[in-house]
Amino acid sequence: MKLLVIEDDAETAAYLANGLREEGHVVDHAATGRDGLFFAATGGYDVLIVDRMLPELDGIAVVKMMRAAGVNAPVLFLTALGGVSDRVNGLNAGGDDYLVKPFAFSELVARVNALGRRPVLATAETTLKVSDLEVDVVKRSARRGTRTIELQPREFRLLEYLMRHAGQVVTRTMLLENVWDFHFDPRTSVVETHISRLRGKLDAGGSPTLIQTIRGAGYCLRAPE
Amino acid sequence: MRPNNLVGSTSFRLAVLYAVLFGASVAVLFGVIFWTTDRHMRAQLDDVVETDLATLTEDFREGGSDALIEAITDHLDLSSNRGAFYFFGDAAGRRQAGNLPTAPSQEDWQELTLDDGAADSGESGHRVRGRAATLDGGAYLFVGRDIRPLNELHEAVARAFGWAGIVTVALALGGAAIMSSGLLRRLDGINRIAEHIIAGDLGRRIPTRASKDEFDRLATNLNAMLDQMESLMAGLRQVSNDIAHDLRTPLTRLRQTLETARRSGSDREASEAAIDHAIAETDGILITFGALLRIAEIESGARRSGFSTVDVAPIVDTVVEVYGPAAEEKQQSLTSHTVAPVMINADRELITQMIANLVENAVRHAPCGAAIAIDLSIHPGRAILTVADNGPGIPAEMRERVFRRFVRLEAARTTPGNGLGLSLVAAIAGLHDIALEPLDNAPGLRMRLTIPLASPAPPG
């Protein structure tokens, strides 16, 4: 994807740019809000990564102006501020996601991919399908081949989220936020437990496993190789 | 007491202001007394003149001029009539009788000043107030009275007022000086102690007298404030010590891990493992710092602006759902009983975290096979949430301390955790005015939260 990083700290910017390039993305870097605004308006980026604390023009203002100028690309905010009002302010300004520093790089990559993929997977789809797993979003039913899978409402939400991000790495934090609305990190490995339960239900009867664990990053639902 | 300090002080100025007001009211009092007395005396004098005039006029009517002259002479002879003045004049104004050399003939009230000598009675320099009555043929009779007593009254009152005024002002200034110097001395005392405290002697307190007056109340309140400040500072020192102490350990481990990584050198796998370990250690430290910052942010009250009306029941259900599998893995039974809706004014995220922390604690520290029960019920004006387990519980002497930062029970020392979970719970409870009680579940721990409901609660 084509990415724009707006970050004034040179070291962080290098860390982000290099890491993302290694993932195969094309990355441009702007060191000030003003430059970032200019690049964004003319560059045609897939995802924008914006630091909230910028000199002169802060991240929130930059995104507001971008949206006013018609730049609709998804925005991921990076910040050292972790309060809930900061998150809400960021999202209200036109941001799409929010990461608190310091973060694991795999977290950033997963979220950038999730944001970049969004327009392609329209939410209007009522049936999601990966390999022989079929999920009907409206009827809230899941089926593996001919076998119906009984799922609790929350388990279904977990499966739906994984399906909508099929093929992408989904981190624990993303799951906690989007499936359970937990905006903090529980010390217990609750996500692992729920994933393994879901896996158990999906893979019952010897079907090949669809939910892969990506070490150090998260999980990925995809057709087995 | 330096004079300029005294005169410039508010208490002195107030005292002087009071003295001025008092002086003014004294002046008004004197004025009223004077005026009333003056009018009364005048009225009396006028009455006497009128009576005299009427009597003498009657004498004239009955007996003519001769009778009148005789009557006037009689009147003048009476020593009780000292201060009486008469003049009986013919149409041309020539005196027929009386002790005045001349007198006006107008019928309205006049005041005359007598020159020396000419009057028969030998009194001079007087002011006479009286009036005339017209008799037949242009003759007239003037009767008057000496108003010297009135003037003497005026002078006496003025003199009295003058002296009183001087005494009042003197007393006022003197009193003001004494009172305000007394006040200033007490204030000075307080100021000096405050300077000592500012200079660093935090243990000093302002002395109070037994009089319980407003200064003592001020002193008592200031002392209470100083006590609180001292304990807050002690608490702050304690927390800083705790933090430094408790973060030094993981940081030391981190350093050791990194040294291991370095030493592994060519052994790629070992080095990678060590680096992974170091990252995990760093994450742990960052989580601890994050929790500390969050606690501080909550304790500062800044989060209150993010409050909205929140239903607690579904939050409890979600938390139970999230931790269900974790409990199952330890063969624990995790049950909940809720009523809905339970509307409160809260920060949704913080309430979720608080309940999650409590349930997580129960799942973690209760042994395998324990039973954990959560109950949410509604009472007038409040909701009660309890998280109870039948595990080891918290010993009575630790029940207050567990909410402090970094405190961990001996039994839990080997389990992962940073000792901040319950501090966070306490901070969130404090922000929301939730009463948090650790109770003995006999056996085990029962955490009881009393949560004020959002008002007004809709019926049914």
- Helices B214-264 and B268-299 cross at an angle (nearest 10°) of 170
Residues A66 and B13: their CA atoms lie apart, in Å, by 64
Q: Is A183 on the interface with B (CB under 8 A)?
A: yes
Q: Cβ B322–A182 below 8 Å, yes or no?
A: yes
What number is the ipTM of this complex? 0.81
Residue B316 to chain A, least CA–CA distance (Å): 12
A191 to chain B: nearest residue by CA? B322
Distance from CA of B20 to the nearest CA of A (A): 60
- The number of helix segments (H) and strand segments (E) in chain A equals 8, 12
Instruction: For residue A120, name the pLDDT band (cuts at 50, 70, 90).
Output: very low
Read off the pTM: 0.64
Please answer whether residues B336 and B374 qualify as being in contact, where contact means their C-beta atoms are separated by less than 8 angstroms: yes
CB contact under 8 A, B321 and A102: no
Searching chain A, which residue's CA lies closest to the CA of residue B294? A83
Contact yes or no for A188 and B303 at CB 8 A: no
- Please give the distance of CA B443 from its chain centroid, rounded to a whole number: 51
- The predicted structure's pLDDT at residue B331: 92
The alpha carbon of residue A149 is apart from the nearest alpha carbon of chain B, in Å, by 18
pLDDT of residue B119: 47
Å from B349 to nearest chain A CA?
Answer: 6
Which residues in chain B have their CB less than 8 angstroms from residue A192's CB? Answer: none
Q: What is the mean pLDDT of residues B420-438?
A: 90
Q: Per the CB < 8 Å rule, is A83 touching B287?
A: no
Residue A180: name the closest of B322, B31, B77, B147 by CA: B322
| A103: nearest CA partner in chain B | B283
Inter-chain CB proximity B318 and A180 less than 8 Å: yes
The rounded percent of chain B whose pLDDT value lies above 90 is 19
Which among B298, B321, B328, B365 is the top mutation candidate for probing chain A, defined by the most A β-carbons within 10 Å of its own β-carbon? B321
Number of A–B residue contacts, CB under 8 Å: 62
Residue of chain B nearest A152, judged by CA positions: B321
Question: By the 8 A CB rule, do B406 and B250 touch?
Answer: no
Amino acid A2: pLDDT = 92
Rounded-to-integer distance, Cα A138 and Cα B276, Å? 43
State residue B80's pLDDT score. Answer: 66
Chain segment B246-305, per-residue pLDDT in tens: 788 888 888 988 888 888 778 888 888 888 888 888 888 888 888 887 887 787 776 777
Is the pLDDT confidence value at B129 over 80?
Answer: yes
For all residues of chain B together, what is the average pLDDT? Answer: 83
Mean pLDDT rounded to a whole number for chain A: 86
Residue of B nearest to A100 (CA): B290
Give me the residues of A, 9-48, that contact B with CB < 8 A.
none
Residue range B323-340, pLDDT digits in tens: 998 898 899 999 999 998
Identify the band that residue A54 occupies on the pLDDT scale cut at 50, 70 and 90. confident
Residues of B in Cβ contact (< 8 Å) with A83: 297, 302-303
What are B374's two structure tokens?
Answer: 């959560």
pLDDT digits (tens, 9 = 90+) for B323-382: 998 898 899 999 999 998 999 999 888 899 999 999 999 998 889 999 999 999 999 989
**Cβ–Cβ gap A182/B290 under 8 Å:** no
**Which range, A39-48, B102-111, B205-214, is most confident?**
A39-48
- As separate numbers, helices (DSSP H) first and strands (DSSP E) second, chain B gives 8, 12
Q: Which run of H or of E encompasses B195? A: helix B148-198
pLDDT band (50, 70, 90) for residue A77 = very high
Cα dist from B223 to A5, B122, B316, B383, whole Å: 56, 83, 45, 38
- Give the nearest partner residue to B364 out of A152, A188, A197, using CB atoms: A188
Q: Residue A211 pLDDT more than 70?
A: yes
**Mean pLDDT for the stretch of residues A92-97:** 88
Smallest Cα–Cα separation from A48: which of A57, A39, A56? A39
- Tell me the Ramachandran region of residue B368: left when phi exceeds 0, alpha when psi lies from -120 to 50, beta otherwise: beta
Please report the beta strands in chain A, taking only residues with DSSP state E, as ranges in sequence order: 2-6, 26-30, 47-51, 75-79, 97-100, 127-130, 133-136, 141-144, 147-149, 170-171, 211-214, 218-221
Query: Rounded to whole angstroms, how far apart are CA atoms B144 and B127?
Result: 10
Share in percent of chain B as helix, strand, coil (round to 5):
60, 15, 25
pLDDT in tens, B21-41: 888 888 888 889 888 888 888
CA A99 to chain centroid, in Å, comes to: 10
Residues from chain B that touch A158, judged by Cβ atoms under 8 A, are none
CB contact under 8 A, B294 and A82: yes
> Which chain A residues are closer than 8 Å to B303 by Cβ?
83-85
Give me the count of residues in chain A. 225
Cα–Cα dist B18/B144, whole Å: 47
Sheet holding B371-379, edge to edge: B333-337, B371-379, B382-389, B445-452, B435-440
For residue B435, what pLDDT is reported? Answer: 93
Distance between A205 CA and the closest CA of chain B, angstroms: 21
Say yes or no to pLDDT of B118 above 50: no
Mean pLDDT of A105-116: 89
What's the pLDDT at B115?
66
Tell me if B360 and A186 make a contact (CB, 8 A cut-off). yes
What's the pLDDT tens digit per position in A164-185?
888 888 999 899 988 988 888 7
B window 406-445, beta carbon within 8 A of A:
416-417, 421
Out of B293, B349, B417, the one facing A183 most closely (by C-beta) is B349
A186 CB neighbours in chain B (<8 A) are 322, 356, 360
pLDDT tier, B81 (very low <50, low <70, confident <90, very high otherwise): low
